[in-house]
Chains A and B, each alone.
Chain A
Amino acid sequence: MKRVSHFRPYLSAFRLRLKMEWSYRSAAIAGILTQVVFGLILCGLYDALLSARDPHLFRETVTYVWLQQLFFRAVLSTDAELSRQIMTGSIVSSMVRPVHLCSYCYVRNLAMKLTGSFMRALPAIPLFLLLPPAYQPLLPASPSALIAFLFSLALGFLVMSAVENICLGVQLHTLDNRGINAIIHLLQEIFCGNIIPLTLFPERFQTFLRLQPFSQALDLPLRLYLGILPVQELPIVLCLQALWALLLYCLSEYLFRHGLRSLVIHGG
């Protein structure tokens, strides 16, 4: 019973943030259109580069690109309200509430990323049927690959929410989030595989690319989906993701703890 009451504030904040994301329905439609356009451009590019040389690699890459676009919001999204609160000092009102602020922000990030991406991903899937067959994404390598993909995607969300929390933790020191977001978002776009699929990088970079934190979000789940990583490797992938989620969360907790101590809200 005690345990339940301990988590209640965070569950409640999580639920409310899920609900809040529903206010942004037109943003989701705009998001889908953007992702489809980007996806088409990338498909065209890889069509020109790969389809003649290696048709299978081309189809794999197309699938990778589309799934990256579907879950774009899991990677690049910021809780604008939290950032605004830190910038304007309204965060004081959260500081006079008995919540652990770092966890509170973390669950808000998580809820935002989950609703944000599924609100875009699910309606976008039927649109794939309108695409020319060569540009349509492949089905998962096997039913078990799909299940492995979903498990690892879930942990991917935990990692990305921790990254977002680090941005907020840094913002508690700098008060402005533009600098840190510009840096982190650039790293995310490159090292998540959003601009160029990480699978296309030369073999000698692959170990590094798989171990680094950003690939935990979408790249590893997608490799499981495509069967590039066999399902047998799922436990290792999950452990790696959990480790990164924990590490990054602890880093954000450190930044929050230090930041809240030194944060000075000026003015009346």
Chain B
Amino acid sequence: MSSASVCISATELTRTYTRYAVREKGLPLIRRIFRDRQLIPALQGASFEISSGEIVGLLGPNGASKSTTVKLLCGILTPTSGTCTVQGFVPSKDRKEYVKSIGAVFGQRTQLWWDVPIRDSFSLLRDIYGADRHAWKAREEELTDALELSSFMNAPLRQLSLGQKMRAEVCAALLHRPSLLFLDEPTIGLDSPSKVKLRSFLRQENEQYGTTILLTTHDMEDMTALCPRVLVLGRGHLLADTTLDALFARYGKYQRLHCRIPETLSLPDALLELQHAGSIRMSRQGELLDLIFDPHLVSAQRILELLLRAGSMEGITLSQEDADALVSRMYREMKLI
């Protein structure tokens, strides 16, 4: 029942920034005295709805207004025009009341106090939310276990590693059991094991408590692991509101074959012809051969046959082309880069 209710609803959401730039024309020195007011369009008329319990990813190249969208939805920025309603509130108007039920992690910024143990920062949060001590303690234990914070709860934030800091930030955002969580690049700078752990933790939070999650990231692994649904933003426009599978089906038309062959092996002419015709892209470094091909033009079977006829091969892997390459092509096709 709650999964069907609308959590975030944005209509023609628009935000324009003002920038004061040095004049380009005019007398030298004199022109520097004056500043021209420029309007920089950021988000332009985005309309979308997100239901409670969903995990949605915001995808787009740098400068696509992903962070602007998150800030508008958090109530930190006021929209220039258009409206958004989040959990029945207008975020920029009822900020103090609204933020009680949301959590936010801004990957590039810290929210915990720099010089005090993170345990104390957490206690401050308890008093900010006016939470009951017992309930809070139980939740704190649950999260410190899940995020493995217990070994450094008494260390001040300044002494933590990047990964520890990020886990503490995520914990701080979730302690008050928000029903909506905004994550702006939560895995930035983390190593692979930490990323994997964080992702599984977020999925668990979503499944267990039905927390709605809106995530922005440049890490495609994050997207594939977490977000069934993605909103693609580019130059401030909402370009697609679709599932990740649909994106893969549409843009992921290439496959990749990777194998090891003897260094001295000369490749069959038929394969070189295919490369010449543009059906496959091939790169060879020592023993390693990397082939990217369009399965509609040439089948994997055909390529394997050709290679096997030429000589022995080992360590064959056949996979979808990686997500980063896919997204790059999508951005290129959408003329964003």
Residues of A bordering B, CB below 8 Å: 5, 8-9, 11-13, 16, 19-20, 23, 81, 88-90, 92-100, 261, 264-268
Contacts and interface: CB of A to CB of B under 8 A. Distances in A.
A268 B115 contact: no
B333 interface: no
B222 interface: no
B185 A97 contact: no
A16 to B, nearest CB: 5
A5 B100 CA distance: 15
B34 interface: no
Given A8-B127, A12-B127, A268-B108, A95 B113 contact: no
B209 interface: no
Contacts of B130: 5, 8-9
Given A9-B127, A16-B113, A23-B115, A93 B104 contact: yes
A93 B116 contact: no
Contacts of B110: 90, 93
| Chain B binding surface, main DSSP class | mixed
Question: Most chain-B Cβ atoms within 10 A of its Cβ — which of A11, A13, A264?
Answer: A264
A32 to B, nearest CB: 20
Contacts of B116: 16, 19-20, 23
Interface string B92-115: 000111011011101111110111
B124 A100 contact: no
Nearest to B109: A90
Interface stretch (B66-74, B191-199, B238-246, B283-291): B66-74
A265 B102 CA distance: 19
Nearest to B158: A23
A12 B113 contact: no
Question: Most chain-A Cβ atoms within 10 A of its Cβ — which of B78, B96, B103, B111?
Answer: B111
Nearest to B128: A9
| Chain A binding surface, main DSSP class | helix
Contacts of B77: 264-265
Nearest to A90: B109
A99 B156 CA distance: 23
A122 B55 CA distance: 56
28 contacts: A8-B127, A8-B130, A9-B124, A9-B130, A12-B126, A12-B127, A12-B128, A13-B124, A16-B113, A16-B116, A20-B113, A20-B115, A81-B115, A89-B109, A90-B111, A92-B104, A92-B109, A93-B104, A93-B109, A95-B74, A95-B76, A96-B99, A96-B102, A98-B97, A264-B77, A265-B77, A268-B107, A268-B185
B129 interface: yes
Contacts of B200: none
B127 A97 contact: no
Contacts of A99: 96, 128
B140 to A, nearest CB: 15
Contacts of B319: none
A1 to B, nearest CB: 11
A16 B75 CA distance: 27
A97 B113 CA distance: 14
B69 to A, nearest CB: 11
A212 B39 CA distance: 43
B76 A96 contact: yes
Nearest to B92: A261
A2 B99 CA distance: 20
A97 B128 contact: yes
B106 A267 contact: no
Nearest to B156: A23
- State the 5 A-B residue pairs at the shortest beta-carbon distance, nearest first: A93-B111, A12-B127, A90-B109, A9-B128, A268-B67
B129 A96 contact: no
Contacts of B205: none
Contacts of A88: 109
Interface string B74-87: 11111000000000
